Structures are given as C-alpha cells and as structure tokens.
Amino acid sequence: MRTSYKKLWKLLIDRDMLKKDLRKAAGISTASMAKLGKGENVTTDVLVKICKTLDCDISDIVEIVEE
C-alpha cells in the first residue's frame, strides 16, 4: 500500500491555491512539499498543519491506495 495526495491537489485546485501558497500559509518546508509532490511519506505534523490551514479533515487530503 502507498499514500496518495491526489485529494490534496484537487482541493488546492478547487480553492484556486498554488502549492507555494499552501507551503507559506501552513508554514511547512520546501522539502516537505517536495515529498508530498512525489507521494512520499511526511510527518503527521505536516499533515495537521495543512489540515488546519485548509480547514479540512485528514481524509480530505490523503488516502491509502493499494498498489
């Protein structure tokens, strides 16, 4: 199984936000954004910051998919 952040990217499109806008608003590093972009694992802290910034639940931005 792997982690997919497609829901996050769709949410950003719906809210007319760029990745760099999210990074600045949430206060996360460029390295964390790069990991998200590659579908790699990030810390729960990063996901919580994103959820707080976008006022959403973690299930709105990440999902577990079978390979």
Tens of pLDDT, residue by residue, the chain (67 residues): 889 999 999 999 999 999 999 999 999 999 999 999 999 999 999 999 999 999 999 999 999 998 7
- The pLDDT value given to residue 67: 79
| Distance (Å) of CA 38 to CA 6, 45, 47 | 11, 18, 15
- The pLDDT value given to residue 37: 93
Q: What helix, strand, coil percent values describe the chain, rounded to 5?
A: 60, 10, 30
Q: Does domain 2-65 have CATH number 1.10.260.40?
A: yes
Q: In 10 A of CB 28, how many CB atoms? A: 21
- The pLDDT value given to residue 30: 96
User: Residue 65 — φ and ψ, nearest 5°?
Assistant: -120, 145
